[in-house]
């Protein structure tokens, strides 16, 4: 499947945590030609199965995104909101959003505030209504809104736009599913829900699948920007980042070694991913039931949780190659 066109569609589909129906149905249609079986569950996870004889390998990529939820509509027709997932006020001001029903909204701050003193609770969404009644006809309390920021090439090999966290991970899973010809393990490609609010979908899907091995595919923070504080290790364009640890997991040593050995054997560009903060679905997969041998493959992403997240396609390519090789190499029974 075409990288840029498919990723554009994935990034634009609505899927604020807890409200993933639209993105789930898009992924279902993209996965269907390559899957043996596709199920969804109570939490809204999409579980795509490709059968193989070896141990069960669960690869999880969250499909939900951060977003805003309307909480109040005032007399002027401005919409107050809460955050679903982590935002910084400076990422929100002067940004365009879209509610799932198609209503656009501009986020801004009161005229008497400055951005450095502004808290998220001070901000509002302007939907272009002339008064409260008109605004109420456009948006209901509880409706969710997502960034609008079309995917663009940045330089020769980089991309920028909203929700590369984690629609780029979803694309990597889909491309791996497409490319695996001889599955040597029993493969579960899981598109999880509610990661951004606490890894919730991965928790229930891991319990249901009961995998031998777990792998989370997600973004990681790079250490390659001006003023970088070295709380992470990766850099854009240096390959698939093999997770060693983040705030949610210390990856299983043998699995980290296995991923590095496969990369070496198949000449795939990789780099270590250590991050003092943040977490991924692997954080809950590895403590499921009696424990699951788990790790992660990450893409370094700049400006995470803003409307201009930026990644390098070299890293996507390396990630898909490494996952494909992993799927076609029989893992040891656990
Ligand atoms: Zn993420």
The domain spanning residue 182 has which CATH number?
3.40.630.10
Residue 72 shares a structural domain with residue 101 = yes
Residue 320 shares a structural domain with residue 215 = yes
The whole-number pLDDT of residue 277 equals 84
pTM (global) more than 0.95: yes
Residue 85 shares a structural domain with residue 219 = no
In a domain, 152, yes or no: no
In a domain, 157, yes or no: no
Residue 221 shares a structural domain with residue 322 = yes
57 C-alpha vs ligand 1 centroid, how far in Å? 20
95 C-alpha vs ligand 1 centroid, how far in Å? 20
Last residue of one domain, picked from the residues 95, 114, 147: 147
What confidence category does residue 325 fall into, taking pLDDT thresholds of 50, 70 and 90? very high
Last residue of one domain, picked from the residues 108, 123, 147: 147
In a domain, 155, yes or no: no
pLDDT tens for 106-165 read: 999 999 988 888 899 999 999 999 999 999 999 999 999 999 999 999 999 999 999 999
Residue 100 shares a structural domain with residue 245 = no
pLDDT tens for 72-113 read: 999 999 999 999 999 989 999 999 999 999 999 999 999 998
Residue 18 shares a structural domain with residue 115 = no
173: closest CA among 80, 301, 83, 297? 297
212 C-alpha vs ligand 1 centroid, how far in Å? 23
The count of C-alpha atoms lying within 13 angstroms of the C-alpha of 317, restricted to the half-sphere facing its C-beta, is 13
pLDDT tens for 161-212 read: 999 999 999 999 999 999 999 999 999 999 999 999 999 999 999 999 999 9
The domain spanning residue 112 has which CATH number?
2.40.30.40
In a domain, 105, yes or no: yes
What is the average pLDDT value for the chain, to the nearest integer?
97
The whole-number pLDDT of residue 82 equals 97
pLDDT higher than threshold 90 for residue 21: yes
Classify residue 151 by its DSSP letter: -
94 C-alpha vs ligand 1 centroid, how far in Å? 23
Cα 58–242–266 angle (5° rounding)?
90
Residue 77 shares a structural domain with residue 48 = no
In a domain, 154, yes or no: no
Strands (E), 252-315: 270-274, 293-300, 309-312
Burial label, 223 (beta-carbon count in 10 A; 0-12, 13-18, 19+): middle
The whole-number pLDDT of residue 278 equals 87
Residue 219 shares a structural domain with residue 80 = no
Question: Does residue 134 carry a catalytic annotation?
Answer: no
In a domain, 167, yes or no: yes
Host domain of residue 268: 3-65+162-327
**How much is the average pLDDT of 321-334?**
97
Residue 279 shares a structural domain with residue 254 = yes
165 C-alpha vs ligand 1 centroid, how far in Å? 5
299 C-alpha vs ligand 1 centroid, how far in Å? 10
42 C-alpha vs ligand 1 centroid, how far in Å? 21
In a domain, 156, yes or no: no
264 C-alpha vs ligand 1 centroid, how far in Å? 27
User: In the chain, what's the furthest Cα-to-Cα distance?
Assistant: 65
Residue 59 shares a structural domain with residue 80 = no
Residue 37 shares a structural domain with residue 101 = no
Say if CB 146 and CB 292 are below 8 A apart: no
Last residue of one domain, picked from the residues 117, 147, 177: 147
The whole-number pLDDT of residue 2 equals 96
* Among 22, 134, 178, 195, the one annotated catalytic: 195
In a domain, 332, yes or no: no
Q: Are strands 158-161 and 240-246 parallel, antiparallel or unpaired?
A: unpaired
Q: Are strands 186-192 and 56-62 parallel, antiparallel or unpaired?
A: parallel
* Count of structural domains within the chain: 2
Residue 197 shares a structural domain with residue 131 = no
What confidence category does residue 215 fall into, taking pLDDT thresholds of 50, 70 and 90? very high
Rg (CA), the chain: 20
């Amino acid at each position: 499947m075409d990288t840029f066109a498919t990723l554009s569609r994935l990034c634009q589909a609505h899927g604020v945590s807890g409200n993933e129906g639209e993105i789930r149905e898009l992924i279902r249609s993209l996965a269907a030609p390559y899957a043996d079986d596709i199920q969804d569950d109570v939490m809204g996870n999409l579980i795509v199965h490709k059968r193989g004889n070896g141990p069960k390998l669960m690869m999880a990529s969250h499909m939900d995104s951060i977003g805003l939820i309307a909480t109040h509509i005032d007399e002027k027709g401005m919409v107050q909101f809460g955050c679903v997932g982590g935002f910084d006020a400076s990422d929100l001001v002067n940004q365009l959003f879209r509610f799932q029903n198609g209503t656009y909204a501009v986020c801004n701050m009161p005229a008497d505030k400055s951005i450095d003193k502004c808290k998220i609770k001070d901000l509002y969404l302007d939907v272009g209504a002339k008064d409260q009644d008109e605004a109420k006809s456009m948006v209901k309390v509880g409706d969710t809104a997502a960034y609008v920021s079309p995917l663009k090439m940045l330089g020769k090999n980089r991309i920028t736009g909203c929700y590369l966290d984690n629609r780029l991970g979803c694309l990597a899973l889909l491309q791996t599913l497409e490319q695996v010809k001889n599955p040597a393990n029993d493969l579960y490609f899981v598109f999880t829900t509610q990661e951004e609010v606490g890894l919730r979908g991965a928790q229930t899907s891991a319990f249901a699948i009961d995998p031998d091995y777990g792998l989370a595919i997600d973004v990681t923070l790079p250490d390659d920007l001006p003023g970088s504080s070295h709380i992470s290790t990766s850099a854009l364009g240096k390959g698939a980042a093999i997770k060693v640890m983040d705030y949610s997991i210390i990856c299983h040593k043998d699995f980290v070694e296995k991923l590095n050995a496969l990369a070496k054997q198949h000449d795939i560009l990789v780099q270590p991913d250590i991050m003092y903060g943040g977490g991924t679905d692997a954080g809950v997969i590895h403590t499921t039931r009696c424990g699951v041998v788990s790790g992660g493959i990450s893409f370094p992403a700049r400006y995470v949780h803003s409307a201009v997240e930026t990644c390098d396609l070299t890293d996507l390519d390396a990630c898909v190659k490494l996952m494909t090789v992993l799927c076609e190499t029989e893992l040891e029974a656990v």
